Chain A
Amino acid sequence: AQSVAQPEDQVNVAEGNPLTVKCTYSVSGNPYLFWYVQYPNRGLQFLLKYITGDNLVKGSYGFEAEFNKSQTSFHLKKPSALVSDSALYFCAVRDYQTGANNLFFGTGTRLTVIP
């Protein structure tokens, strides 16, 4: 079975400070990992993905994520948070072995950047 856990429902950070949104995963084989962001009344926007290769992945809007196989984690990071980063963030996994195209999502983490 495949699953994703986002242990924090809410993360608050001051503007200009670094931010981290946590994600751990569980898959039977090699994972494809994704981060999406959702703004109010909008669909999900793709931020970045890890497929293979370098463990540090850079994505849109200055976000990056670090893949850690031993800890089965894929935390989202940004060096300096902006108020406009406030949104709902989802981590997702696709199981490479099954070949299925669907994503398994975490429960989401609401990020609030305080001015």
Chain B
Amino acid sequence: KAGVTQTPRYLIKTRGQQVTLSCSPISGHRSVSWYQQTPGQGLQFLFEYFSETQRNKGNFPGRFSGRQFSNSRSEMNVSTLELGDSALYLCASSSQTGINEQFFGPGTRLTVL
């Protein structure tokens, strides 16, 4: 089975721009979660999608948004980029809620200049 894939792997943007990151979960997984990883704040939960519905959201401003498609692929969008948005963005998929572990993709490294 192919793992979680994320595209692109690296991105460089300037302040004020917007960016869209993509995540393809493991085949058959319907839950996709997004996390932001920074040296200062560590790993923080952004949001989770299940069957095209956002089920849970972390404490991030409205500039951060996401969606999930019928094939479970997910995108996250960050508008009006700020320098502090520079981070590794990780996507994780799981087959269902509760006891199953999440499988993480390699991440997208976003640098905001």
Contact = CB atoms under 8 A, between A and B. Distances in A.
B104 A107 contact: no
Contacts of B4: 43
What DSSP secondary structure best describes chain A's contact surface? Answer: loop
Interface residues of B, number: 26
Contacts of A104: 45
Among A100, A102, A103, the one with the most B-chain Cβ atoms within 10 Å of its Cβ is A102
* Interface of chain B, main secondary structure: strand
A80 B41 CA distance: 32
Nearest to A107: B42
Contacts of B72: none
B22 interface: no
Interface of B: 4, 31, 33, 35, 42-45, 48, 50, 55-56, 58, 90, 92, 94, 97-99, 101-107
Given A43-B104, A49-B99, A101-B94, 20 more contacts: A32-B98, A34-B101, A42-B106, A42-B107, A44-B90, A44-B104, A45-B104, A46-B102, A96-B98, A99-B97, A100-B48, A100-B97, A101-B50, A101-B97, A101-B102, A103-B102, A104-B45, A105-B44, A107-B42, A108-B42
